Amino acid sequence: KRAKYHFKMKRYNETLEDLNKALEIGQNNVSMIDILSLLEIRGETYFMMGKYEGALSDLDKLNKELEITPEKLSKRGIIYFLMGRYKEALANFIKLLEIDPNN
């Protein structure tokens, strides 16, 4: 809860500290759903901080465990674009349009 509060207050360094600590402690003590939720928030935190490699890493971990959604493909495309990796960005946007042509 504290990490979510820090995130809402745009205190991203504190958010990362709390999330990393929670993920370290929680690996064996919490459900997979809780871990995935923490990864999602951490990935968004990395994104907001401009740490795109971290954001992409957490997003890829989520994609391994959960269904790939149009929102996740869009986010991956945006991250790749911001990193200057335009071919990978385009590939994600094309896949997004295949899944959701109205997007």
Question: Are 54 and 46 contacting, i.e. CB atoms less than 8 angstroms apart?
Answer: yes
* pLDDT of amino acid 1: 80
pTM for this predicted structure = 0.86
Rg (CA), the chain: 14
* pLDDT of amino acid 67: 85
Spell out the per-residue pLDDT of the chain, length 103, in tens.
899 999 999 999 999 999 999 888 876 777 888 888 999 999 999 999 999 999 999 999 998 888 888 999 999 999 999 999 999 999 999 999 999 988 7
Provide φ and ψ at 9, rounded to 5°: -85, 5
